[in-house]
Amino acid sequence: MKAFMVERYGDKTGVRVGEMPDPQVGADDVLVRIHAASVNPLDLKLRDGDFKAILPYSLPLILGNDLAGVVVQVGPAVTRFAVGDEIYARPDKDRIGTFAELIAVHQDDVAIKPATLTMEEAASLPLVALTAWQALVERAQVRPGQKVLIHAGSGGVGTIAVQLAKQLGAHVATTVSTAKADLVKELGADVVVDYKQQAFETVLDGYDVVLDTLGGETLEKSLQVLKPGGKVISIAGPPDAAFARELGTNAILRLVMSALSLKTRRRAKRRKVTYSFLFMKAGGDQLRELTPLIDTGRIRPVVDRVFPFEETQEAMQYVENGRAKAGKVVVAMR
């Protein structure tokens, strides 16, 4: 099969389109012919080797972390899916590789594609929708009436998180540039802070939850807008020991990750709030919970641009250079 792969880390010239063996299909796997996959910042970090210490993949590595496609084969233990089903999925972190013609995915990580969406629209959702769900529903347990701040509301995660937070009954604030204010208002944001004109930490206060997608100074300033007992959940900040335990890393790596987030956790504690790092997991059950919200239009995908598979390198460069206006960039296989 054709696939877009990393042959060596840390060098844009170390990626190429080439031939790879077709996937082996396990007893609980579905083999999917991929129609579309989306580009995520995670793909750029994997390409550059940023996670090689904690996600030790063998090279060559096929990139790509979510997809939409059609089931073409099922393993003997598969009970949820049949050949011909249109599905979408985020494969487990140990089985990525959606920039390819085929992929084998465990049935637990797969869901039937929302009927109202094209393949390209569906492919834009799994990783960001699961991130939003795991942050707001699982980790933060957002309740009606709570105040939630979502940074970069026009980004891939942000566009879905704003909509999900509204569906959970929250009062939603977000940070965007001037040009994207109308979009996030359409998605449901109650308060829009133009970060080019205002410092969000000076105009927002008393928030229950912050979903940080930017890290750095934004994360540190986010602690200031939380009320006592509030939570900041970051997908871009320093990892913590809890994340290391989830990965099953050794004691030394757990200590390293704990040290990386020590300053942030101490600052959070002084303000009587909590900090945690989120690295989203695959989850077919959660996608199935999201699907009715998507099919009824309460959550809609935002797709910036679709590239053909042969231009996967250009699609990644487009994302890396920050050229996407809003939402996700998608690679179409056919």
Q: Where in the chain is the domain with CATH 3.90.180.10?
A: 2-125+301-332
Instruction: Give dist(CA 257, CA 250) in Å, integer.
Output: 11
Instruction: Give dist(CA 53, CA 192) in Å, integer.
Output: 38
Q: Is the pTM of this model over 0.75?
A: yes
Residue for token pair 């600052």? 267
Residue 264 burial class via C-beta count within 10 angstroms: exposed 0-12, middle 13-18, buried 19 and up? buried
Q: Which H or E run contains 131?
A: helix 126-133
Superfamily of domain 127-277: NAD(P)-binding Rossmann-like Domain (3.40.50.720)
In tens digits, the chain (334 residues) has pLDDT values of: 999 999 999 877 889 999 999 999 999 999 999 999 999 999 999 999 988 888 889 999 999 999 999 999 999 999 999 999 999 999 999 999 999 999 999 999 999 999 999 999 999 999 999 999 999 999 999 999 999 999 999 999 999 999 999 999 999 999 999 999 999 999 999 999 999 999 999 999 999 999 999 999 999 999 999 999 999 999 999 988 788 788 777 788 788 888 888 999 999 999 999 999 999 999 999 999 999 999 999 999 999 999 999 999 999 999 999 989 899 999 999 7
Residue 93: CB atoms within 10 A of its CB come to 18
pLDDT of amino acid 142 = 98
Distances (CA, A) of 256 to 139, 251, 261, 281: 23, 9, 9, 22
pLDDT of amino acid 12 = 79
Residue 79: CB atoms within 10 A of its CB come to 8
Residue 144, preceding peptide bond in cis (omega within 30° of 0): no
For residue 305, the 8-state DSSP code is: E
pLDDT, mean over the chain? 95
Q: Token pair for residue 57?
A: 């993949």
Q: Token pair for residue 69?
A: 């496609």
Q: What is the CATH number of domain 2-125+301-332?
A: 3.90.180.10
Report yes or no: 261 and 305 within 8 Å, Cβ to Cβ.
no
Instruction: Give dist(CA 76, CA 282) in Å, integer.
Output: 22
pLDDT of amino acid 52 = 86
pLDDT of amino acid 256 = 81
Sorted by sequence, the CB contacts under 8 Å of residue 318 that are 6+ apart come out as: 39, 305, 307, 324, 329
By residue count, the chain amounts to 334
Instruction: Give dist(CA 31, CA 89) in Å, integer.
Output: 12
307 has which bridge partners? 331
Q: Where in the chain is the domain with CATH 3.40.50.720?
A: 127-277
Q: Comparing C-alpha atoms, which of 129, 117, 55, 123 is closest to residue 92?
A: 55
Instruction: Give dist(CA 235, CA 73) in Å, integer.
Output: 34
